[in-house]
Structure 1
């Protein structure tokens, strides 16, 4: 390891290219956090040059470089930037902005000095002129806008190349546009430099431009740490960046993978990693109390699908390294990326529900059921040799298990263990559709059992569904599946069937007191219901009217009393008597869920039980229980 301090001119004057490796993050420095302070430092040094003061270099920090062995006579020297790519990239933008400023100030004599720090010479001896001519070559994600910005010969050409970023008067838009970072940086430094150079003072612009160029080239210094062959670039990168708040675990994982890539790194990135740079993978996804980029949850799930062992997302990078180090055949970058790609498309289908594959259908159906413990098993099933029908049968068992336990009010705390066991059986080659159903059917106890039809029916008919054991999203999902099952080939289909715009309604309303008579013909007040509740726990006798009030309150949250209605109906009628409510809310509904309601003249506790029974017949077909198929 060799450490030296260099000026900007010394860093860039040799025929050399600094490459940002694939595993590095894209350029992220900006006006508020870094550019503004850097410009102030440059301006101060330029002012000192004008005043003839002693030049005291401004220290910009350190960069870590890894020299690359040159193959053959052609080509430029290459150094990988292990740490410090933001500084070195920004300095290229500063130098580019300085070129535009010198031209505007009429100081062409210094252009050759600046250009020597931006462009490598002797293109005839390069292997790839389009790449090697640049002093710095960014990571794949930044290249297009970097190249377009850095090769523009004037500010007018920048305006032509990026018309969406400029106003009609030619200034950079301040709001409403996410500018390419290279363009925004160059324009920021150019505007600051030009304002300073043409300042209305006695000093000519040419002289001020010379002072500015001198400050940039010779008064900014950086410590360059050059690694030797015995130094481990990966360990150094992790040491420098592993505790930074800006890095995600998958940034370190990307580093870990591409540190093992050879000359095929470009192809591996383009063909096997670039898909993971899409916005969907950086979106935040929440599980429990933890929010992480979706890519982190995916990597965790992919490793678990491969091994059946749960990996702590809070220690994802360390867990991934252990996984690769212990896995036969996964040490090479290509093998790791192939494994991740095998699961990547399946995971995207699972979490988005897009498409018609079995795992897409499963993803849509379980989206609201807090089903992340099933994801690793789902990936393994999707990438197995099972036929689509066999996959759908496995997924159907999982969905039934989740729905039945939710309706019965059973805990989901043991789901990780339950589905990890089934995943291990699949990895060991022991899992068939019949074996999977038998395994779930054999589970017992509150924490794990798959509710039988008898238990499912009791809770479906009499349980507190909403409000209660199910939230609005879960209840709407149940109604979606019921509605789909109720439609036959002879009935009109909604393609695709969506109930998202419908609202959950209690047919017997929660505020039933004024318009819904009790069996004895009387009505009740809200405080009658409140006063009746303590009597449930009293040894005192309960009269028939009070019991009727309690029975009615019990019936409110049951599935038989719940349905979906359009948000646009007159909701002021929702608490009225059944006849008026039926005509206002259900008469124009095209849902099969509501067809039976249109034919009824009355609605009471017995009707709620009867409707629950009717819906349950569909439920057992949709979500068959243990021991059935």
Structure 2
């Protein structure tokens, strides 16, 4: 027997009660994908409730079982049979909201939210937390609830808290004093759940097993088809053969049909989620009274299906300009633009817009995408903006002018010409947007030249002319243009990822870290105009990179129209991004003013000036380049005078006798970008190479070219020991060298392929925690933490706990020490056994 009731988070959490996650449940495992979905839903709900105060959003169920230990006194306890991920995440979101409001509004919010939703005040310690995760997650969760210095650590609980903290910083609009309060109210009283409570004596573990071993459910498209034809007892056969079957022939039976039904709904109400498609369509169709009306509705949907087919297959569009814009927007890969595209095509079909007008409207959208990416705001509120165009644009204007006007108003980050000119010089283009989008813009710029060389995105990759890695040759070349007091590292970090330093090539690995003299010879032979222009330069350093950035900015401005005159500039974009990045910085780590500047496209001095005058998350974790606290650092809170070293030490940062923070705990700007959710390209992946059986000797030839025979022999012994265990080496050539991956499990085996290290001949062993986060059994943070601790037992290896979500490395030369090599090989043996145990037991853990 079970009892089911619709409820809210407020009803679940208010009052004295405790929800305990049973030991048989897995540890907390929500990743950025699930967190992002929840965040988007909550933000949309908060906006919906401005005009519809009673709006709710259903997020699923929680299954609870009364604890066998409940008595007549004490806090009622429930076992969370199902839904623990959801419940844990929601309370972590409340922690982040509490901390944000306590810091930026009033400290009273801390006690208020603790007493109402997070703790049972005045109860014994064992009963104090309202939600008690598994033992593995408990310390990290309690740190967030209690706001200790370790809150927001490097584990998945800490990552979720930091994700929400960063999103709150990004969302908080200084001119809207109620935006965070609305969000809190949406979470507390607007999220609808079904609470299913078992009766005493029920087998909670058996219920858990049955809930997680169900068959595949019907899709929303299946449900809607069944509903429609249930309403057509007389005309069903005729409608099915004449309308429905042709519609299914045009569109995939489930995925694309479901997309069509959702697109139809958001033409009227942008708030409708894809998960609510069936319920919303059913509510709309319930108002139809006879079969003729339902037949007409199916016919209308078929007409929209023809238009969706054009969106999904732009090559069938006959009008050249419309076809080009559809192809580009499809390539961009943002499906939330589809409602607008469907509307534009429907307007043309209805005769209220011409092909020229809808092509012009699509160009404005394309320009909106391009210019936002250039200033580093590619994803900010993008889905909400796109989904709202159809319902919010001015219907009295021609459709292209209406789209242009809508995108030009409000806080939409549609960069004007001056912002584009500034951004191409300073913003790290290579860290913005998605990798394929960055390549697309370069491809489109090249196509604008009328290049005769075919440009194939599958074969061309983005090349850094000044390479990402430091080399002596490049340092000497760049040093000629340094200003007094500047270092090569500062200039390199400031320029390496900017647009002026990037191009497209089909031979990235061959160019790699070569000197400019070598690169220019190869670029001069390219069929791409942009490469031949680079090859014409006598040298490549700051003057050339900035000059090229300026030239590219003018071509961007000419190709993609900006917002209407008078549109509000996005001057706060850099500082908003800085706050988002800092909020993602884990406890027990630190970064530098230069790292922050490199991400946001600014200068270390400007970053320091900003942090000294404006409140920002974790500002005390930003240090000078050598790991020293800036002499000018001051807390902005008037009542706070703690020594920043003491605060950092309490969070886990280690300092030497000179007050320098441990370099192992330094988070570089590339790592910061990953933590903040910027879509950066990750480590090279193992793949088949053209070298075939020559890959292994080729790899060792590269090691030998960079190191002496002793290092080569040490690497050889590690690889051979791996092969003796039963593993195998595999190779990748996506970078400047042939990298070696130690494969423990193959793609087709239970749990998928997995490897602990990537070895690079240039001199590092990369520990791929980021890759391991989604591979069992190392998707459990305890397993990754044990791997880190085992490796840290090797002399010369010091991997910080704060980097357990990243890809830290240790020097190849560490393997020269027999003691270190022995620890590494013992760790590899342990890793191999753990990885293979998943195969042997069929994934059970």
Q: What TM-score does the superposition give when structure 1 sets the normalisation length?
A: 0.50
Equivalent of 2:406 in 439, 442, 453: 439
Report what 1:202 is aligned to: none
C-alpha distance in 2 between matches for 1:627 and 1:352: 32
Displacement, 1:408?
Answer: 1.4
C-alpha distance in 1 between matches for 2:499 and 2:478: 25
C-alpha distance in 2 between matches for 1:248 and 1:295: 10
The answer as to whether partners of 1:461 and 1:613 remain within 8 angstroms in 2 is: yes
Report what 1:473 is aligned to: 436
C-alpha distance in 1 between matches for 2:532 and 2:483: 36
C-alpha distance in 2 between matches for 1:515 and 1:309: 55
* Mapped pair 1:393 → 2:360: yes
Matches within 5 A, 1:412-431: 412-425=379-392, 430=397
Partner of 1:454, secondary structure, is helix
Report what 1:619 is aligned to: 556
Equivalent of 2:300 in 339, 346, 367: 339
Report what 1:604 is aligned to: 541
Partner of 1:505, secondary structure, is strand
* Mapped pair 1:248 → 2:209: no
Larger relative CO (CA 8 A, sep 6+): 1 or 2?
A: 1
Report what 1:576 is aligned to: 514
Partner of 2:360, secondary structure, is helix
The answer as to whether partners of 2:479 and 2:488 remain within 8 angstroms in 1 is: no
Report what 2:309 is aligned to: 348
Report what 2:151 is aligned to: none
C-alpha distance in 1 between matches for 2:273 and 2:291: 20
What do you get for the CA RMSD once the two structures are aligned?
3.2
Which has more radius of gyration?
A: 1
* Mapped pair 1:552 → 2:492: yes
Displacement, 1:327?
Answer: 7.2
Matches within 5 A, 1:182-331: 245-261=216-232, 263-278=234-249, 281-282=252-253, 293-305=255-267, 307-326=268-287
Task: Name the CA shift for 1:600/1:412 in 2 (closer, same or farther; >3 Å).
Answer: closer
Partner of 2:252, secondary structure, is helix
Matches within 5 A, 1:431-510: 432-443=399-410, 445=411, 448-466=412-430, 468-487=431-450, 492=452, 494=454, 498-510=456-468
Equivalent of 1:367 in 325, 330, 340: 330
* Mapped pair 1:589 → 2:523: no
Displacement, 1:463?
Answer: 0.5
The answer as to whether partners of 2:221 and 2:258 remain within 8 angstroms in 1 is: yes
Displacement, 1:326?
Answer: 4.7
C-alpha distance in 2 between matches for 1:391 and 1:328: 36
Task: Name the CA shift for 1:553/1:595 in 2 (closer, same or farther; >3 Å).
Answer: same
Displacement, 1:390?
Answer: 0.2
Displacement, 1:602?
Answer: 1.0
C-alpha distance in 2 between matches for 1:389 and 1:511: 47
C-alpha distance in 1 between matches for 2:379 and 2:235: 45
Structure 1 gap ranges (5+) = 1-242, 284-292, 524-541
Partner of 2:367, secondary structure, is helix
Displacement, 1:601?
Answer: 2.2
The answer as to whether partners of 2:465 and 2:503 remain within 8 angstroms in 1 is: yes
* Mapped pair 1:403 → 2:366: no
Displacement, 1:493?
Answer: 7.1
Partner of 1:564, secondary structure, is strand
The answer as to whether partners of 1:298 and 1:344 remain within 8 angstroms in 2 is: yes
C-alpha distance in 2 between matches for 1:519 and 1:575: 13
Matches within 5 A, 1:32-51: none
C-alpha distance in 2 between matches for 1:407 and 1:328: 52
Task: Name the CA shift for 1:353/1:480 in 2 (closer, same or farther; >3 Å).
Answer: farther
C-alpha distance in 2 between matches for 1:412 and 1:516: 34
Task: Name the CA shift for 1:309/1:471 in 2 (closer, same or farther; >3 Å).
Answer: closer
C-alpha distance in 1 between matches for 2:560 and 2:483: 40
Q: Deviations over 1:256-284 (max 9, x none)?
A: 2222335543442233222443496257x
C-alpha distance in 1 between matches for 2:506 and 2:387: 41
Q: What TM-score does the superposition give when structure 2 sets the normalisation length?
A: 0.38
Structure 2 gap ranges (5+) = 1-213, 568-845
C-alpha distance in 1 between matches for 2:261 and 2:220: 10
State how many pairs are aligned.
Answer: 347
Q: Deviations over 1:44-67 (max 9, x none)?
A: xxxxxxxxxxxxxxxxxxxxxxxx
C-alpha distance in 2 between matches for 1:543 and 1:312: 53
C-alpha distance in 1 between matches for 2:552 and 2:363: 19
Report what 2:578 is aligned to: none
* Mapped pair 1:515 → 2:473: yes
C-alpha distance in 2 between matches for 1:411 and 1:492: 30
Q: Deviations over 1:334-365 (max 9, x none)?
A: 22222222221222322344334566433421
The answer as to whether partners of 1:362 and 1:395 remain within 8 angstroms in 2 is: yes
Partner of 1:593, secondary structure, is helix
Displacement, 1:395?
Answer: 0.7
Displacement, 1:612?
Answer: 1.2
